[in-house]
């Protein structure tokens, strides 16, 4: 059932209606087959770009739509509820465009953003490495200046769209000065010396490729340095704040889909002469699930509105990512329980949503890292 949203403008309402129509026509009919075949729906991202859905929070002069983050995130939620690999892919693509949009020179913005925001180019974000995940500042990939180029050497891990993206926002070390020695380079996928490893075999989101990148003397023009040398870690953390809100919105979308399916099933399934939704034990369970979904949506929207107002929101983003992804895990698990044995088989999508929800507790910083961010904020005077 459509979510009863409070949107800021009639234009935003029309955009959400467009998103729902697109999800019904282009996403829901295809998700099961693509997941089963582990096939990446690249054409879907082209369609989203043509519909103007890949550049929603970025300025119009850069090819975006100039919309508030609270509107963009609700679009992501709708997409994720229909197909998580697509909703999360839009969030990652938005994350990959952030360094150029926020820190790029006018020339870099003019060259790169129209393609990234219009759907002609697909982006990816490369921070994690095999030995530095949560401790991102410990990354070891090197970028050494050589004339008019940087030469990149190292390995990146857990790259969403790895091997399928057209551009990679790569965080690499340009000095040994800890977090202050990291820089950001926007690197074309066809760069000599850049290659992708085989995609990971995951328990969910099979249609979203996750792969490592190998950089073996990859030469990147110095003009692709985003910001100044040493700005990379600051850029990466700022991007992750927005990205965590994207994951929170994805989590709410998956949880809403599971709730809607469980409610519809409970209305139709009859036991002991009546629909099972009329049994108090099940009705109370569904009431709790619905309340948790609404609470998650309210939390991520509150953080988004702080971002739109130009106020600090890092702690609130961590809270939203933590709460919403934990909530999605609970809601999808209980949705499987509502369907009983039917919930455990692939004939019904709740088992897929349960598997998918798990990754949302891990990506963009594990939920343990989110608690660390929140705890540190509480410890400051």
Same-domain status, 155 and 77: no
For the residues 179-188, what does the mean pLDDT come to?
Answer: 96
Count of residues in the chain: 381
Give the global pTM. 0.96
More confident of the two residues 134 and 37: 37
Domain end point (choices 230, 256, 291): 230
Number of domains in the chain: 3
Structure confidence at residue 1 as a pLDDT band (50, 70, 90): low
43 is annotated as an active-site residue: no
- In which band, very low, low, confident or very high, does the pLDDT at 381 lie, cut at 50, 70 and 90? confident
Question: Within a domain: residue 15?
Answer: yes
Say yes or no: 52 and 180 in one domain.
no
Give the range of the structural domain holding residue 307, as residue numbers without chain letter: 234-379
Residue 2 lies in a domain: no
Please tell me whether residues 250 and 217 are part of one structural domain: no
Helix (H), strand (E) at residue 96: helix 84-103
Together in a domain, 140 and 185 = yes
Is 61 inside a domain boundary? yes
Q: Are residues 226 and 264 in the same domain?
A: no
Q: Are residue 218 and residue 242 in the same domain, yes or no?
A: no
pLDDT, mean over the chain: 95
Out of 26, 77, 129, 364, which one is annotated catalytic? 364
Q: Is the pLDDT of residue 322 over 90?
A: yes
Same domain? For 352 and 262 the reply is yes
Tell me, rounded to whole angstroms, the distance of Cα 68 from its chain centroid: 17
Chain segment 196-222, per-residue pLDDT in tens: 999 999 999 999 999 999 999 999 999
- Residue 5 counted as domain residue: no
Could you tell me which residue, 334 or 381, shows the higher pLDDT? 334
Spell out a b/e string for 352-381, using b for 16 or more CB atoms within 10 Å of the CB, else e: bbbbbbbbbbebbbbbebbeebbeeeeeee
Q: In angstroms, rounded to a whole number, what is the distance separating the alpha carbons of residues 72 and 21?
A: 16
- For the stretch 326-365, pLDDT in tens is 999 999 999 999 999 999 999 999 999 999 999 999 999 9
Question: Final residue of a domain: which of 230, 255, 285?
Answer: 230
Last residue of a domain, one of 53, 83, 118: 118
The alpha carbon of 250 is separated from its chain's Cα centroid by a whole number of angstroms, namely 7
Whether residue 371 sits in one domain with residue 245: yes
């Amino acid at each position: 059932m459509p979510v009863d949203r409070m949107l800021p403008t009639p234009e935003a309402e029309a955009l959400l209606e467009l998103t729902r129509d697109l999800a019904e026509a282009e996403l829901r009919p295809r998700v099961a087959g693509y997941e089963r075949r582990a096939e990446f729906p690249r054409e879907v991202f082209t369609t989203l770009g043509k519909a103007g859905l890949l550049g929603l929070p970025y300025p119009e002069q850069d090819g975006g739509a100039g919309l508030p983050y609270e509107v963009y995130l609700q679009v992501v939620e709708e997409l994720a509820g229909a197909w998580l690999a697509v909703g999360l892919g839009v969030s990652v693509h938005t994350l990959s465009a952030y360094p150029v949009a926020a820190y790029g020179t006018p020339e870099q913005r003019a060259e790169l953003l129209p393609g990234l925001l219009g759907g002609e180019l697909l982006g990816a974000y490369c921070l994690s490495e095999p030995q530095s995940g949560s401790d991102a500042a410990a990354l070891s990939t090197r970028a050494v200046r050589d004339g008019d180029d940087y030469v990149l050497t190292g390995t990146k891990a857990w790259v969403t769209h790895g091997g399928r993206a057209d551009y990679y926002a790569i965080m690499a070390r340009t000095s040994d000065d800890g977090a202050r020695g990291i820089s950001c380079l926007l690197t074309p996928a066809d760069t000599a010396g850049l290659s992708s490893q085989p995609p990971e075999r995951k328990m969910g989101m099979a249609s979203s490729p996750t792969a490592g990148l190998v950089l073996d003397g990859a030469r990147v023009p110095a003009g692709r340095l985003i910001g100044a040398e040493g700005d990379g870690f600051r850029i990466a953390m700022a991007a992750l704040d927005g990205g965590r809100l994207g994951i929170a919105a994805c989590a709410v979308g998956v949880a809403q889909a599971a709730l809607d399916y469980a409610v519809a099933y409970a209305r139709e399934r009859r036991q002991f002469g009546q629909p099972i939704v009329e049994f108090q034990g099940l009705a109370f369970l569904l009431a709790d699930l619905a309340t948790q979904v609404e609470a998650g949506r309210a939390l991520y929207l509150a953080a988004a509105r702080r971002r739109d107002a130009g106020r600090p929101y890092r702690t609130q983003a961590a809270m939203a990512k933590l709460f919403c992804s934990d909530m999605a895990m609970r809601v999808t698990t209980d949705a499987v329980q509502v369907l009983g044995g039917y919930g455990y088989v692939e004939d019904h999508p709740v088992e897929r949503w349960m598997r998918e929800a798990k990754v949302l507790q891990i990506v963009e910083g594990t939920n343990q890292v989110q608690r660390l961010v929140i705890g540190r904020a509480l410890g400051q005077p």
